[in-house]
Structure 1
């Protein structure tokens, strides 16, 4: 195979690709005139029987979730915290140790440098304060050093808090 043949083959592929791109551009111009997707009001709306915003189920109060929490499941959720925290008394990791954290004063682990943002939002790590912090640490205590994005499932938070409460006797 000589150089001229390979040049013709490469030119054919480039030409086909160019025609494909021009066809795509022309189709977008024809079918997407206006402000783009969703900028026009629908001409006909099908009534599905749902409210406009969609109905959501009523959330179960956290107290009920905590009462029904399973510490064994909380130990599995602990795997997400294990990289930075320890549960042995006095042994700090990247974060402070969590032995006896439920009911402990916020920012009270000796020898650990807290960010100060935590002390400003709560006095004691009650189950309610812990669940709010674990849901969204940066939202609960803006400026905290904790980079964890949070536990979105309320049952996981309740199970974890129940497990943390059970490990300190």
Structure 2
């Protein structure tokens, strides 16, 4: 009735059907997918220059960092810093990332007992508020090859508040 050979045939048929389904899905994505971005995203083929400036892009940029940083709130920054606590400490001890006590104004990659990646070692200079905000906005773009896996803080106000909080730890 129901012996091991029957069970093996049923399992084989199921695996074969799954394999055909997955291969068909892969082939369809290759044929009908959106290319590099995938997922059917449309890309503009060409741009017509009308000579007009893009005021929407200028509005999207918003205020510059120095203006936002001048009115930053360290209390809000302390709350936002909770996203960083998974890897960074502020008690002078290192974790997955180096401690951030005194980071504002400190030399880049200068905590002696932390093993920095080559991307940060090659930066040189000091951690100024503007440099920190560029780094925490998009770490992979600012220091290509960095081991920091954080996606970044997209809001300029959040970055300014976190840096204002970190400045209080100097």
Query: Is TM more than 0.5 here?
Result: yes
Match of 2:70 among 59, 67, 72: 67
Distance 1:54 1:162, change over 3 A: same
Using the TM superposition, give the Cα deviation of residue 52 of structure 1 relative to its aligned residue in structure 2, in angstroms.
10
What is the CA deviation profile of residues 67-95 of structure 1, one whole-angstrom value per residue up to 9, with x for unaligned ones? 00000000011010000000012x00000
Secondary structure (helix, strand or coil) at the match of 1:72 reads helix
RMSD: 2.3
Match of 1:150 among 128, 146, 152: 152
The residue number in structure 1 matching 2:117 is: 115
Using the TM superposition, give the Cα deviation of residue 53 of structure 1 relative to its aligned residue in structure 2, in angstroms.
6.3
Distance 1:65 1:38 in 2: 35
Question: Could you tell me the TM-score, scaled by structure 1's length?
Answer: 0.66
Structure 2 matches for 1:6-155, cutoff 5 A? 55-56=56-57, 57=59, 58-89=61-92, 91-155=93-157
Question: Could you tell me the TM-score, scaled by structure 2's length?
Answer: 0.66
Q: Which has the larger radius of gyration?
A: 1
- What stretches of structure 1 of length at least 5 have no aligned partner? 1-35, 40-50
Distance 1:59 1:92, change over 3 A: same
Secondary structure (helix, strand or coil) at the match of 1:121 reads coil
- What stretches of structure 2 of length at least 5 have no aligned partner? 1-39, 44-51
Secondary structure (helix, strand or coil) at the match of 2:100 reads coil
Distance 2:41 2:134 in 1: 37
Distance 1:55 1:162 in 2: 29
Segments of 4+ moved more than 3 angstroms: 36-39, 51-54
